[in-house]
Amino acid sequence: MRISAVETVYRSRGNRSSGVDGVVLTRENLLSQVDALRFKQLFRYRASPIRRVFIPKSGKTELRPLGIPTISDRCMQTLFVLLLDPIVEAASDDFSYGFRKGRNAHQAIGDLSNHLRVKPQLKRPKTVSRRYFSHSKYVYSLDIKGFFNNVSHDWLVENVPIPSRFRKVWSQWLTSEVHYQGDISQVLSGFPQGSVIGPTLSNFTLNGFDDLCQPTQKTAFDPEKSKFLAEHYGEYYKEGQSAVRKSLVQRAFRYADDIVVVSNDESQLSLLKTRIDTFLAIRGLEINPAKSFMIK
């Protein structure tokens, strides 16, 4: 496991990026990094400060802060990621695509498109057009305000499934000093973008949207279908009859902290928004209303 952790860092694209100590990983110091990950050394470990740089956001003029840990910290974080990833993966949401092996943004877009897809009217058989009645769908695109900077440290320390005797080891990465052009700042919440363990912690923090999206009831009256049947076929049904009821379906598609919720019932989506607010508040997070919206 120790060799695998060091090898992962050595083969990564950022292995030539140094932290505050200016050390990079080379063939000459590989064995020393492996020795530093021995079990007895874990309890003597002290995290180093983080070097901050700013990189341009894709397609924008804004800059994104990036924290670069030292090589020693990256090796130690990778060791913990190798242990933590299988646990987090087992509890991951079905429609979560970010920072997971074998998953990518293209799959997220594809599954979301398939979920929203409606068969064109011209391609529907005229003799069985009732089969192709399409319910309206409500799409809620939500933006979490400063996700990586605002996750509660207390919540992470209490909930991350790592044995308590190793808490002093990994919790140091949450509060490491940040160095930028001679200035030193202390992190009080969140975790730096650029850390090795950050993606795993971000997925762990937001896992649970599948359960959160479960409707409060199985079916509901569908006024749109009732109106459709009345106007096109002259058929009238009471609200309790199955012909004018719909199975409630809600699904959250997530890539890292970008989330799109699709529901076929507006009232259920309104209830879900309240549950999402509570879910995020427990983790020290909140929705950015300026960038979040709902469309029909």
Burial of residue 165 (CB within 10 Å: 0-12, 13-18, 19+) is exposed
Flag whether the pTM goes above 0.95: no
Is 124's pLDDT higher than 80? no
- CA 255, CA 244: separation in Å to the nearest integer? 35
Q: How many residues does the chain have?
A: 296
Q: What is the mean pLDDT of the chain?
A: 89
Instruction: Give 168's contacts (C-beta < 8 A, 6+ positions apart).
Output: 43
Question: Per-residue confidence at 126, pLDDT binned at 50, 70, 90?
Answer: low
**Buried/exposed code over 106-131 (b: 16+ C-beta within 10 A; e: otherwise):** eebeeebeeeeeeeeeeeeeeeeeee
Q: What confidence score (pLDDT) does residue 186 get?
A: 81
Which range has the worst mean pLDDT, 35-49, 125-139, 161-175?
Answer: 125-139
Of 118, 85, 207, 195, which is closest to residue 149 (Cα–Cα)? 195
* Phi, psi for 48 (deg, rounded to 5): -90, 160
Top pLDDT among 15 and 3 is at 3
Name the more confident of 292 and 117: 292
Instruction: Band the pLDDT of 190: cuts 50, 70, 90.
Output: confident
Give the bridge partners for 64, in sequence order: 55
Tens of pLDDT, residue by residue over 200-224, are 999 999 999 999 999 999 999 999 8
Instruction: Give the range among 63-72, 253-262, 267-276 with minimum mean pLDDT.
Output: 63-72
Q: Which residues contact 105 (CB under 8 A, 6 or more apart)?
A: 97, 98, 255
Greater model confidence, 94 or 58: 94
Question: Does the pLDDT at position 106 exceed 90?
Answer: yes
Q: What is the mean pLDDT of residues 165-171?
A: 90
Over residues 33-54, mean pLDDT:
91
Given a cut of 90, whether residue 129 has pLDDT beyond it is: no
Q: How many CA atoms lie within 13 A of 292 on its CB side?
A: 17
Residue 100, CA distances (Å) to 54, 103, 104, 229 in order: 25, 6, 8, 45
Q: Which whole number is the average pLDDT over 29-48?
A: 91
158's tokens = 């209490």
Distance CA 39, CA 60 (A): 44
**Of the candidate ranges 79-83, 84-88, 130-134, 255-259, the one whose mean pLDDT is the lowest:** 130-134
Tokens of 129: 């057009």
Nearby residues of 52 by Cβ (< 8 Å), 6 or more positions away = 65, 66, 67, 68, 178, 179, 180, 192
